[in-house]
Amino acid sequence: MSTTPTIILIKDTRLAGVDTTRDVQNVFEKCLKEAGIESHVQAVRAADMGVYERGVVVKLLPQNVFYGNVKDEDVSLIVNKTLKKGELVEHLALRNLPSQVRVVLRNCGVINPESMEEYIQEKGYEGLRKCLLHLTPAQVIDEMKKSGLRGRGGAGFPTWMKWNLARSSVAEQKYVICNGDEGDPGAYMDRSVLEGDPHSVIEGMIIAGYAIGASKGFFYIRAEYPLAVERIHLAIKQAYEGGFLGQNILGTKFSFDLDVRLGAGAFVCGEETALMASIEGKRGTPRPRPPFPTQAGLWEKPTIINNVETLANVPVIFQRGGDWFSAIGTEKSKGTKVFAITGKVKNSGLVEIPMGITMREIVYGIGGGAADGKKVLAVQTGGPSGGVIPESHFDTPVSYEHLQELGSIMGSGGMIVMDEDDCMIDIVKFYLGFCVEESCGKCAPCRIGGYQMLKLLEKISEGNGTDQDVASIKRIAKAMQKASLCALGQTAPNPVLSTLRYFEDEYKQHIGDKKCRAGKCGKLLQYRIMPDKCKKCRLCQLKCPSNAVVGDKEKGYEVVQAKCVKCGVCYEVCKFEAVERI
């Protein structure tokens, strides 16, 4: 009988019915007590295990064994066979699970994020020790080059190159900034890492500081993530106490200090020059580059700005070597990427996959396809700066260059699944509306171009569009891409252009046929009362705000289209489903 501490994670993964996770946990606890091993085996309820629709799923750690469809009577079998004798229960074991690889999320949900001891137990700060005691800054950057890590914030700039540029800038003071201003709607991986494994990001920052010769670092975190802010504050305090921050770290000559600055709800502050202005306490407006931040950044000093996920990768690279890291992924995109897969998908949540697996594997294999048995139409990646990828291109591998070829970007990793009920014009209006509202207003192409483009799209969605409008949209998009000051304006037309590329038919339908396939563009809908279903209760007539429902008990009722304001009240109030929307 082994006495190694074991964790049993339990989760009822059925989509319907009563959640029995807690009951199974109770059975486990009883069985463990009976077997007399409750002191070193812990049964815990898990929030998500990356396995779905396999009944009650049980995962044993550190054995890393998955059991599915576990019934109450199987519990004693698992306890007696696997825990006491170390044997596998064959008929329950799950194999061939979707291919997730956890590098960034290695500790999330596994360790207590508020305990530095648990992080250290999982080989935390080993990478830092190796760097400070055995490697020169140049060697650190060489190892980063070997790993092939690219920025996870969106653009995919090679991390080693950024570090090298900052290292070669000569200055008394240099800075490292962690960009935790995760503003893309639909992406929350940075939040999860900051909340679930704060020390890994801190370790990444210290290593970055050592590599470029900086003695000061800043966390820039959204104020909307109070728990992340709290945990980072706590982790920084612990790191100071543990001697990983402050003067003469680990007895070397290297000193590094960390501080936290809060964002205040401006999407544009995710852009690096705007972010620096915000840390300096000013309005977060971008400025032209060059000079690049690596030459003159925060307070005109050389600065590197790395995304949370990028920094969380760094400690692992030094723990296990750049070669190990570069073995994961494709030729030009190394390592893993965390995606937040949400929208009209069965299993939404965070997934971490090696670069290069196909979109189909993510959407159907891990995400389980569309909910309610509908058809998946497309996936949107990269948030307001990205584009849509239609179902027909789902066999493309997910990597920086492949997504770019398709007219989208990797972005920070939001992946929104859309089904046949979604209208592309509506989605594009949503994203563009976001960019228009978040534009800082400094440069005209973004401020005016975005607004005009949105007006044209609204015109189309209301059924007043012409072919000329599409041409205008294309012209404005090109101007914005070329002339905007920062990435917000340059990429804002991306959702429009990619839908024009793959879903031009839908634009044509809205313009030519005045029809919205998905029924999302309210102004294009028509409401009609079906005489055969109508029970003549008159409810729709009473509720109609514009007196568009006419008729009487004998003749029946109908909607006068000229008067109808398309509010949909008749459709909603009808108890007999006699009002149709076409």
Partner 1 sequence: MTGMASNNSKHDSTVFMRTQAFGSGFNDKRISKEHMKLTTIDGQQIKQAVGKWKDKPGNLIMMLHEVQGCYGYVPREVALKLSHEADVPLARIYEVITFYNYFKLQPPGKFNIAVCMGTACYLKGAPELMQELKNRLSIDEGQTTGDGMFHLDGVRCLGCCGLAPVVAVNGRVHAKVKKGDIIDILSKCKKEANS
Taking the least distance from each CB to partner 1, the nearer of 431 and 502 is: 431
Q: How far is the CB of 248 from partner 1 (least distance, A)?
A: 23
Q: Which of 216, 220, 207 is nearest to 257 (CA)?
A: 216
Rg (CA), the chain: 28
User: Is there a contact between 79 and 2 (Cβ–Cβ < 8 Å)?
Assistant: no
* Phi, psi of 527, rounded to the nearest 5 degrees: -105, 140
Q: How far apart are CA 191 and CA 180, in angstroms?
A: 8
Of the pair 167, 344, the CB lying nearest partner 1 is at 344
Nearest distance, CB of residue 414 and partner 1, angstroms? 7
Please report which residue ranges of 148-302 form alpha helices under DSSP H: 159-168, 189-196, 198-212, 226-241, 272-279
Q: Which is nearer to partner 1, 175 or 502 (CB)?
A: 175
Q: Which residue, 420 or 513, is less far from partner 1 as judged by CB?
A: 420
CA 567 to chain centre: 34
DSSP 197-217: -HHHHHHHHHHHHHHHT--EE
3-state secondary structure of 248: coil
State both tokens at 16.
């319907």
* Burial tier of 268 (Cβ tally within 10 Å: 0-12, 13-18, 19+): buried
Q: Label the pairing between strands 257-262 and 349-354.
A: unpaired
In whole angstroms, what is the distance from residue 538 CA to residue 551 CA? 9
CB of 82 vs partner 1, minimal distance in Å: 18
**Dihedral sign from CA coordinates of 364, 365, 367, 368:** positive
Distance, in Å, from the CA atom of 348 to the CA atom of 363, rounded to the nearest integer, reads 10
Q: How far is the CB of 257 from partner 1 (least distance, A)?
A: 12
Q: Is 112 or 139 the residue whose CB approaches partner 1 more closely?
A: 112
Q: Which is nearer to partner 1, 11 or 162 (CB)?
A: 11
Q: Are 336 and 104 in contact (CB under 8 A)?
A: yes
Cα separation, 149 vs 147, whole angstroms: 5
Nearer to partner 1 among residue 215 and residue 326 (C-beta): 215
- Rounded to 5°, the CA angle 135-178-324 comes to 45
Nearer to partner 1 among residue 78 and residue 428 (C-beta): 428
Cis peptide bond N-terminal to 290, omega within 30:
yes
Q: Identify which of residues 221 and 470 has a Cβ nearer to partner 1 in the complex.
A: 221
- Residue 336 one-letter amino acid: T
Minimum Å distance from CB 347 to partner 1?
A: 9
Minimum separation from the CB atom of position 419 to partner 1 (A)? 9
Cβ 45 to partner 1, closest distance in Å? 5
Q: Cβ 307 to partner 1, closest distance in Å? A: 15
Instruction: Between 151 and 414, name the residue whose CB sits nearer to partner 1.
Output: 414
Long-range (24+ apart) CB contacts under 8 A made by 541-549 are: 543/569, 543/570, 543/573, 544/569, 544/570, 545/569
Minimum CB–partner distance for residue 166 and partner 1 (Å) = 20
Residue 572 CB, shortest distance to partner 1, in Å, is 9
| Least Å from the CB of residue 480 to partner 1 | 21
**Least distance in Å: CB of 117 to partner 1?**
11
Q: Give the containing element (helix H, strand E) for 541.
A: helix 539-543
Q: Output the smallest distance, CB 340 to partner 1, in A.
A: 6
Nearer to partner 1, 258 or 511 (CB): 258
User: Can you name the residues that pair with 514 across neighbouring β-strands?
Assistant: none
CB of 322 to partner 1, least distance (A): 29
Q: Which is nearer to partner 1, 187 or 425 (CB)?
A: 187
Distance of closest approach, residue 127 Cβ to partner 1, in angstroms: 22
CA distance 324 to 156: 20
Q: Of 384, 472, 388, which is closest to residue 433 (Cα–Cα)?
A: 384
Distance CA 111, CA 115 (A): 8
Residues 442, 485: contact at Cβ < 8 Å? Answer: yes
Of 249 and 427, the one with the shorter C-beta distance to partner 1 is 427
- Contact residues: partner 1, CB under 8 A: 7, 9, 42, 44-49, 108-113, 118, 182-188, 191-192, 195-196, 223-227, 259, 261-267, 278-284, 299, 340, 342-344, 348-350, 380, 383, 414, 416, 418, 422, 427, 430-431, 440
Burial class of residue 582 (count of CB atoms within 10 Å of its CB; 0-12, 13-18, 19+)? exposed
Minimum CB distance to partner 1 smaller for 278 or for 461 = 278
Looking at beta carbons only, is 313 or 380 nearer to partner 1? 380
CA distance 501 to 202: 42
Could you give the angle at which helices 159-168 and 137-147 cross, rounded to 10 degrees?
160
